[in-house]
Amino acid sequence: MWISLGWLGLGLVLLYFGAEWLVKGSSRIALKMGISPLVVGLTVVAFGTSAPELFASVQATLNGKGDLAIGNVVGSNICNIALILGVGALIRAIHIHSQVIRREMPILVVASLVFVGMLWDLKIALWEGIILTVGIVIYVTSSLRQAKKEEHTEEFDELSKEDLNQVHDKSVKSWFSNLGLVLLGLVALAYGANRLVFGGENIARAFGVSEAIIGLTLVAFGTSLPELVTSVVASIRNQGDIITGNAIGSCIFNILAVVGITACIAPISALAISPVDLGIMVALTILIIPFMWSRRRLCRAEGGVLLCIYLAYITYLAV
């Protein structure tokens, strides 16, 4: 048991640092290429912080643990909306960029409903994975095209001094150092996912807990740690765009990229995922739309409501 807990802890640590390195390196490369911070948050950072879910889900599926893979995605989306946005709003009211309400939220709602529809037969087939993967390619491509059409010079003024220096540093050394961070992050994510799933499986067997519950709670929370840390830091710095862009963007990537790519590698069978879990994920996605629409911000009271929903959900799973 202690060995399994050790592997689980090592996996979480590697996933956290792997995501940090991947996000830092890829974000700086994107900023060097003139992509705005908001779009970087919705695409590059969102994908980077969803990388733990991707690696963990692929590893679980290859091991025949489809419930763990799907539970990870569903639980992570619930965690992103209820816990991460909730904690961020409790620290400081979050300003919501109009693009998130107009574009990203409708995309997330449609993606969530399509995902639930695909999972109605308790599996994600290869052709369904291809559809989801094509969806993420279209989403990223359209986001980058839109970014190139708009001016975002004022957004670059809000970057940290370190990141601004990176934007203006066009040296070969700078490019290679950031590429090195990306590669190091990918290696840490791959091995961390392997150890996380290995330790989680053993703990589930020891306590007689289903793999679906482990995926919805422990693995989902662990793989959402990068988003949670980003949310807390961004809220303290009063950078609401980063919080919402990261959380909502990660939810989109979890469904389209994580499930899509995983199903393309191997079909996913999830027999123990409850309609209640899927319903809560969709309900939370729809609930935050009026929260965001009112005064274009998430206030502390709304953050408290989201956090209470998350705690109630975890309690429901535990009993």
DSSP 270-281: -SS--HHHHHHH
What per-residue confidence (pLDDT) applies to 196?
75
Inform me whether the pLDDT recorded for 167 exceeds 50: yes
pLDDT in tens, 128-160: 999 999 999 999 888 878 766 655 544 444 445
Quote the CA–CA distance of 42 and 161 in Å, as a whole number.
Answer: 21
Question: DSSP class of residue 219?
Answer: I
Which domain, by its residues, includes 108?
2-318
The mean pLDDT value for 296-303 works out to: 90
Contact yes or no for 178/23 (Cβ under 8 A)? no
Q: In the numeric block, which tokens belong to residue 297?
A: 């911000």
Q: Pick the more confident residue, 109 or 22.
A: 109
Quote the CA–CA distance of 154 and 262 in Å, as a whole number.
Answer: 38
Contact yes or no for 238/37 (Cβ under 8 A)? no
What per-residue confidence (pLDDT) applies to 51?
79
Number of structural domains (the chain) is 1
What per-residue confidence (pLDDT) applies to 160?
54
Contact yes or no for 186/22 (Cβ under 8 A)? yes
The mean pLDDT value for 183-198 works out to: 79
Where residue 162 falls among pLDDT bands split at 50, 70, 90?
low
What per-residue confidence (pLDDT) applies to 149?
62
Residue located via tokens 């929260």: 291
Inform me whether the pLDDT recorded for 318 exceeds 90: no
| 3 state DSSP class of 124 | strand
The domain spanning residue 48 has which CATH number?
1.20.1420.30
Contact yes or no for 21/158 (Cβ under 8 A)? no
pLDDT in tens, 99-108: 888 889 999 9
| pTM for the whole structure | 0.80
What per-residue confidence (pLDDT) applies to 154?
47
